[in-house]
Amino acid sequence: MQILINKLKALSDPNRFRILMMLEIRPLCVCELLEVLEIAGGTLSNHLKILKNSGLIDQNKDGRWVEYRLLDSDAAQFINRIGKNITDRSLLEKDREIIDRINRSVCSSKL
């Protein structure tokens, strides 16, 4: 039961929920997440730590980038089930539009 409680606590923040919904689309690096969320890097780092500790996401080093993704199909199904209950999807649709047009070149421009 504690595992479920930890996952639900991780979802209690709107930005963490948005991160999970974005990672359902595809794995993303920190620069891509920052581009969509428009929050401070330290704040994003804290959110990612909470999500990782809850067992919902994992990270993978890919060259110079650290890429975040949903941990497994169980996490994806969990997020998908919860996401289906959202009635106002305008912010999530905006996030999806941004994700569809950005890539790691966002990171390169900030180096």
CATH number where 58 lies: 1.10.10.10
Let me know how long the chain is. Answer: 111
Average of per-residue pLDDT across 49-77? 89
> 80 in a domain, yes or no?
yes
Q: What is the pTM of this model?
A: 0.87
Domain that holds residue 70: 2-101
**Position 11 pLDDT exceeds 60:** yes
**Position 57 pLDDT exceeds 90:** yes
> 95 in a domain, yes or no?
yes
Backbone angles phi, psi at 3, to 5 degrees: -60, -45
In angstroms, the CA 21 to CA 1 distance is 23
* Contact present, 79 and 70 (Cβ < 8 Å): yes
28, β-bridge pairs? 68
**Position 42 pLDDT exceeds 60:** yes
